[in-house]
Amino acid sequence: MEGKRFQIYKCPVCDTVVEVLHQWSLELVCCGPPMIPLRAKTRQEGWEDHAPVVEKVQGGLRLAIGDTPHPMTNAHRIEWIELVAQGRSHRQFLSPGQPPEAVFSVKSPAALVRLYCTVHGLWQSTLAGGLKASSQRDADKAELVCS
C-alpha cells in the first residue's frame, strides 16, 4: 500500500488517526494490523450535521460545523477542522465543550475544507469559486459551494 501525501489513516484497534506528510511505499501499521485509509465523505446522509458553514470575518474566514451546532461531547465531537488554501494547511483542534468552529486567517475563498468527527469519520468540501450569500440582508454570511 502506498501512502499518499495528506491521506488520513485510522488504526482499527485503538482509533489512532494519522496524516501522511511524505509519500512512501511501505505499509502503515499500528497495534498489529495495517491502518485503514479513510475516504472523505462529501454529500450523503448526515451531511447537514457535518457541512461547514462559512462566514467572512475581519481578517479571514470563520467555519462553523453543521446548520445546527454539531455535538461536542467526549464521545461524539469534531476533533479538528482543516482549511487548505493558497498552498497552506491550517488546522484547528477542538476539545469537548468547545463550539464546533474555527477562524482562519485566510483571504482566499478558494479552499478545501476537511474535518474529522469522532463518530462519523472524515468529511470534505471544496469552496469552489468562493462564497455565496445565505441571505440578502446578511451578505457576509455564506455557505460552501460544494464540489
Q: Flag whether the pTM goes above 0.95.
A: no
Beta strands in 27-119 (DSSP E): 36-37, 52-57, 60-65, 78-85, 88-93, 101-104, 111-117
Please check whether residues 129 and 58 belong to one and the same domain: yes
- What does the alpha-carbon distance between residue 92 and residue 102 come to, in Å, rounded to a whole number? 6
Please check whether residues 63 and 5 belong to one and the same domain: no
Please check whether residues 52 and 33 belong to one and the same domain: no
| Other beta carbons less than 10 A from residue 101's beta carbon | 19
What domain range includes position 1?
A: 1-38
**What is the pLDDT, as a whole number, of residue 60?**
86
CATH value at residue 25: 2.20.28.100
Please check whether residues 2 and 71 belong to one and the same domain: no
Residue 39, classed as helix, strand or coil, is coil
**Is the pLDDT confidence value at 40 over 60?**
yes
**Is the pLDDT confidence value at 96 over 90?**
yes
Please check whether residues 72 and 116 belong to one and the same domain: yes
Q: 24: which residues sit within 8 A by CB, 6+ positions away?
A: 2, 3
Please check whether residues 34 and 58 belong to one and the same domain: no
For residue range 121-146, list pLDDT tens digits in order.
Answer: 999 988 765 554 333 333 334 444 43
**What is the pLDDT, as a whole number, of residue 25?**
79
* Burial group, residue 114, by CB count within 10 angstroms (0-12, 13-18, 19+): buried
**What is the pLDDT, as a whole number, of residue 68?**
82
Please check whether residues 51 and 17 belong to one and the same domain: no
For residue range 100-122, list pLDDT tens digits in order.
Answer: 999 999 877 678 899 999 999 99
Please check whether residues 6 and 77 belong to one and the same domain: no
Please check whether residues 122 and 75 belong to one and the same domain: yes
Over residues 55-73, mean pLDDT: 88
Please check whether residues 57 and 122 belong to one and the same domain: yes
